Amino acid sequence: MRVLVVEDDDAIASGLLDGLTDHGFVPLRARTGREALAAAEADVVLLDLGLPDMDGRDVCRELRARSAVPIIMLTARSDEIDRVLGLELGADDYVTKPFSFRELVARIRAVTRRTGNSVDASDEQRAIVRGRLTIDRRAHRVTVSGVEVKLTPKEFDLLTFLAEAPDAVRTRTDILDNVWDINWYGPTKTVDAHVATLRQKLGDARWIEAVRGVGFRLVEVDAP
């Protein structure tokens, strides 16, 4: 598995490259945002936010606009607003420095599982149809009444998780454990932010119903 490390600090990057190699990954290195955007395609991107030429969040936005590659942000910033903004831009996970290498490897494996590397082929082939909503897991494509809805990978995973059990209430903790990671330490407000964006993109807030004090569920919405 090829892992692109976007990190300008040579000391940090060296440790990451050595550790990734020891764990059987094939690491690639980019020192700047521009190098990251020009780099060969990887299976996972480890993206530092504090780059010398551009904000790492802008790099994340550009990578996500052209690829579904899993992105894990690496940063010293721990404020909730930074975490939420990074995830809204399309990052799949967020690790705050300092972190253990064991944790980082676990997160890499978790995001690759969630993006399809360990999904059973028969499940991956099967589309989910809920009234006017169709989720094609194999093509990573969502349509409502035949019109495609553009979603980030995290939005796609969240919608799929809700659609797998229509009318069932999913708690915020369940959502974080299954769509993000059981080791996710971010705020539960992250779920609410993604739900709000999903409602907007689906064109009708009724698709995702909030159950006060519990969580969210997907319901079928008739054509307006």
pLDDT tens column, 2-43: 999 999 999 889 889 988 887 778 999 999 999 999 998 898
| Chain segment 140-189, per-residue pLDDT in tens | 889 999 999 999 888 998 998 899 887 889 888 878 877 775 444 455 57
Q: How confident is the model at residue 82 (pLDDT cuts 50, 70, 90)?
A: low
Given this model, what pLDDT does residue 119 score?
37
Any idea what DSSP says for residue 98?
A: S
What's the whole-number mean pLDDT along residues 111-131? 62
Q: What are phi and psi of 70, to 5 degrees?
A: -60, 135
Nearest one of 209, 205, 211, 210 to 219, comparing CA atoms: 209
160 close to 128: Cβ distance less than 8 angstroms: yes
Residue 32 one-letter amino acid = T
pTM to 2 decimals?
A: 0.53
State the fold for domain 121-218. Arc Repressor Mutant, subunit A (1.10.10)
Return the domain boundaries, the chain.
Answer: 2-117, 121-218
pLDDT > 90: percent of the chain: 36
- Identify the CATH number of the domain defined by range 2-117: 3.40.50.2300
Name residue, tokens 């995001």. 111
Contacting residues for 109 by C-beta, under 8 A, at least 6 apart:
none
